Amino acid sequence: MAATSALNGVSPASSQKTQDFNGVTVVLGAQWGDEGKGKIVDLLATSADVVCRCQGGNNAGHTVVVGDTAYDFHLLPSGIIHKESISVLGNGVVIHLPGLFDEIQKNEAKGLTGWQQRLLISSQAHLVFDFHQQVDGLQESLRGKQLIGTTKKGIGPTYSSKATRNGIRVIDLVHDFDVFAEKYKNLASYFMKRYPDLAIDIEKDLKTYKDYSNTIRPMVVDTVTFMHKQLQDKSKRILIEGANATMLDIDFGTYPMVTSSNCSVGSVCTGLGVPPRHLKEIYGVVKAYLTRVGSGCFPTEAEPAIDLELRTRGAEFGVTTGRPRRCGWLDMVMLRYANMVNGFTGIAITKLDILDTFTEVKIGVAYKKNGVLLEEFPSSQEAFQGIEVEYLTLPGWQSPTDHCRKFSELPSNAQAYVRTIEKLLSVPVKWIGVGKDRSSVIQLD
């Protein structure tokens, strides 16, 4: 139902289950990441039997706030905090085991328990090693002025190893350690030949990974078979959370300032072995404004004063890197393109409350170049040069929204902003985020 008639939305906190969704529900970032996917995933995970990651590594971060506790997840699916659900790291995920266990330890200190019985790791997932991370940094330093802005978490080099077919998978580690050791030595030698400054203590690393093999062995399964069994059970509710976001997709994003995996809807099939016919709902998460980390095109980037206000009010600093994010106005041209790629059945608008202080808010609705309206989204960095954005300017509401739990409680101008987004995108708004806490969400009927 469209937001224009959904004036009696209810808070998700008002019922035990936020939504019944038999089959597969997918939550994806619709912009350049940092849209607040973690909160929407957490909201849906309260009703999910299985919560999965299908791509990426610990180069992305989700924050879930429960009461006064903020959980930071990088590799772990956000559903890990729900004791009734199973969390799955699919074959499309690349896993840095030291980072995974460091993440677990930090969240255990915040109250995470029982994860050993709820975490499954794909036997076909590829492993990220410390030398992949070193190579990531070396490759970035060699780019000179053409920096990608990588997190140096080793994600790109690991996917490169996968593509060149000398990568090492989880099954290699847990099935036969002698085979793993031989493959590790070969891979380390491969990189040391190409990067003479690379230092790898192979014997020390093998001792460390021997311990890891024993620790993770009970969690390792063929997740394709596991997912197939879940899909055969029509009572199972399956939730898949995307890492990064559509505009960082290595094929569809603003290449080359992208990540090294597919973070659009296709990754659900390739990164988990889920057939397309099982996808029921595909939800895009849209921040009420726009941010980007690092360099690259940003047509709706705001002037310095607006940029600073958005960054300060929105605490726009990376969960993984701590880097300040560039800030600007919502870009509808980008969102329409993301919708073409993913086919959203609904969207969540997050961080609406960050716009509470503005006298006016803007939405970029069209791109022009040399006075000509562009009909297609630019496919290269160079194609963005000289682009002018046509804006739709709406009055701000200059009133706090963080207390609102129904659509009808929002200021009228805030309602109009949400309705305008919905109309321009032709996709219904399902949720509106108005604060950090998990309860600070308006759910529309």
Q: Please give the Cα distance from 236 to 85 (Å, whole number).
A: 10
Q: Which residues contact 170 (CB under 8 A, 6 or more apart)?
A: 95, 121, 122, 123, 124, 125, 126, 127, 216, 220
Summarised one tens digit per residue, pLDDT across range 43-94 is 898 889 999 999 999 987 777 777 778 888 899 998 898 888 999 999 999 9
Shared-domain flag, residues 40 and 90:
yes
Summarised one tens digit per residue, pLDDT across range 150-195 is 777 999 999 999 999 999 999 999 999 999 999 999 999 999 999 9
How many helices and strands in the chain, by DSSP H and E? 12, 20
Shared-domain flag, residues 173 and 318:
no
Q: What is the pLDDT of residue 70?
A: 83
- Put simply, whether the predicted model's pTM sits higher than 0.95 gets the answer no
| 228 has catalytic annotation | no
Q: What is the pLDDT of residue 19?
A: 46
Question: Would the annotation count 244 as a binding residue?
Answer: yes
pLDDT over 70 at 3, yes or no = no
Question: Would the annotation count 353 as a binding residue?
Answer: yes
| 178 has catalytic annotation | no
Question: Would the annotation count 38 as a binding residue?
Answer: yes
Shared-domain flag, residues 254 and 345:
yes
Quote the crossing angle between the two packed helices 155-163 and 130-142, to the nearest 10°: 100
Shared-domain flag, residues 303 and 418:
yes
Q: Which domain holds residue 196?
A: 126-219
Give the confidence band of 1 by pLDDT, cuts at 50, 70, 90. Answer: very low
pLDDT over 60 at 15, yes or no = no
- How many domains is the chain built from? 2
pLDDT over 90 at 437, yes or no = no
Question: Would the annotation count 79 as a binding residue?
Answer: no
Residue finishing a domain among 219, 244, 263 = 219
CB half-sphere exposure, 164, CA atoms < 13 A = 11
Question: Token digits for 87?
Answer: 């969390």
Question: Would the annotation count 435 as a binding residue?
Answer: yes
Shared-domain flag, residues 439 and 415:
yes
Query: Mean of the pLDDT values across residues 413-440?
Result: 95
Mean pLDDT for the chain overall: 91
Q: What is the pLDDT of residue 308?
A: 96
Q: Which of 62, 96, 153, 287 is catalytic?
A: 62
Q: What is the pLDDT of residue 16?
A: 38
Residue finishing a domain among 177, 197, 219 = 219
Nearest to 127 by CA among 96, 154, 103: 96
Give the confidence band of 436 by pLDDT, cuts at 50, 70, 90. Answer: confident
- 412: CATH: 3.90.170.10
Give the confidence band of 323 by pLDDT, cuts at 50, 70, 90. Answer: confident
Shared-domain flag, residues 88 and 136:
no
Question: Would the annotation count 36 as a binding residue?
Answer: yes
Question: Would the annotation count 30 as a binding residue?
Answer: no
Shared-domain flag, residues 268 and 417:
yes
Summarised one tens digit per residue, pLDDT across range 98-128 is 999 999 999 999 999 999 999 999 999 999 9
Shared-domain flag, residues 425 and 386:
yes
| 403 has catalytic annotation | no
Shared-domain flag, residues 155 and 91:
no
Residue finishing a domain among 219, 237, 268 = 219
User: Residue 386 region, left (φ>0) first, then alpha (ψ -120 to 50), else beta?
Assistant: left
pLDDT over 90 at 143, yes or no = no
Q: Which of 82, 153, 162, 430 is catalytic?
A: 162
Question: Would the annotation count 172 as a binding residue?
Answer: no
Q: Which of 34, 42, 249, 307 is catalytic?
A: 34
Shared-domain flag, residues 108 and 194:
no
Shared-domain flag, residues 65 and 213:
no
Shared-domain flag, residues 239 and 117:
yes
- 138: CATH: 1.10.300.10
Q: What is the pLDDT of residue 205?
A: 97
pLDDT over 70 at 320, yes or no = no
